[in-house]
Amino acid sequence: MTQQDRFCPACAAALEVKEVFGRERPVCSSCNRIVFYDPKVAVICIVPREGKVLMIRRGTDVGYGLWGLPGGYVDRGEVVEGAAAREVWEETGLEVEVGELLGLYSESGNPVMVAAYTARETGGTLKAGPEALEVGYFSVDQLPELAFPRDRDILGRWQNGLG
């Protein structure tokens, strides 16, 4: 548990870690409420152009300086496809129409689930946003050094029509 996860959201008593439903979970020491932490949902988009895909060189702490598909976190109450379009615009300056959901990806021990979509450019001007150092298009066969290995797997599945 992190420092912020020390108190019950219902009664503010201290949380303890106990085995519940076959896993260690935070449980309130006073009201016995089991606290379930929701996973964080992120979105990424594959935006093709002339046989290449749009990538950003990350300017944030996770994977700083490495490359990835444009995307980011879905805000509470936001429609997932809307979040995907917003993130592409914020990071690349491009407006897109979000298309097919390629899949939902997760890894053991990682609280982030990633929804991968296809997207089609509809406007805007290609430029690096505040969280990107650079933007560019790359061949799936000649990708730069990636921040997240799953991006290569997702691109491979997309390229082979597996979604």
What residues are annotated to the active site?
Answer: 134
Cα–Cα dist 73/131, whole Å: 13
Which of 73, 49, 75 shows the shortest CA–CA distance to 138? 49
Separation between Cα atoms, residue 28 and residue 6, nearest integer Å: 9
Question: Helices (H), strands (E): how many in the chain?
Answer: 2, 10
CA gap 39, 149 in Å, rounded = 20
Structure tokens at 12: 């503010």
Torsion sign, CA atoms 152, 163, 112, 89: positive
Enter the tokens of residue 108: 């053991």
